[in-house]
Chains A and B, each alone.
Chain A
């Protein structure tokens, strides 16, 4: 049995990577321009929802072989560790630091610990959205 949406499947193979790249772009420009962890996470889950539309839940579980509830836990862990790590240096909770580093290929780049906190937000948003979608999609 072959399902008839060949055009949607072929197109989603291309569009998926464009949406993923756009979500990474949204995530990394969040410090200087509109964007950030929340919108980036929503766009990533939008890309995976497109895969769910074109294929089925079983195939997507084979492509991404872990439970999305783990993603919520990992994201919360990253955020709490980033916020609580400032207590080790005798500064208040949630104090962020940044500095400039010379990275090969990228040149002078500012690395900020708020980006790690945003990474936690990103994971939590992706995990919550896809858990909701998959739970609703699997129930009869």
Chain B
């Protein structure tokens, strides 16, 4: 019973990733695509958690934190590039 529930939630998350991919391809502006990529990362975190429940292992728990951190850094870098045109500025005060 619990396994059926897990697979059902996995299917729902895959469908929501499909929705995000639609926004990623169709999205009229670049910020739409960045937000879609960030949401795909968060959904990937929950899919990893569910897969680690299905496979009955706790070896993937580090991957969850890793995807979260990488998705945050990537989104921050994209946002700074869109806002300022550079990712690393040499001197912030000049």
Contact = CB atoms under 8 A, between A and B. Distances in A.
B22 to A, nearest CB: 29
A50 B69 CA distance: 10
Contact of A46 (B63, B70, B92): B70
A8 B69 CA distance: 14
B69 A137 contact: no
Interface in B34-50: none
Nearest to A133: B88
Contacts of B93: 1, 3
B90 interface: yes
Given A43-B66, A46-B73, A137-B90, 16 more contacts: A1-B94, A3-B93, A8-B80, A22-B69, A33-B62, A34-B59, A39-B66, A50-B76, A54-B76, A56-B89, A56-B90, A56-B91, A57-B90, A137-B87, A137-B88, A138-B90
28 contacts: A1-B94, A3-B92, A3-B93, A5-B80, A8-B76, A8-B80, A19-B69, A26-B62, A33-B59, A33-B62, A34-B63, A35-B62, A43-B69, A46-B69, A49-B73, A52-B88, A53-B77, A53-B80, A56-B89, A57-B88, A57-B89, A57-B91, A58-B90, A58-B91, A58-B92, A59-B92, A137-B88, A138-B90
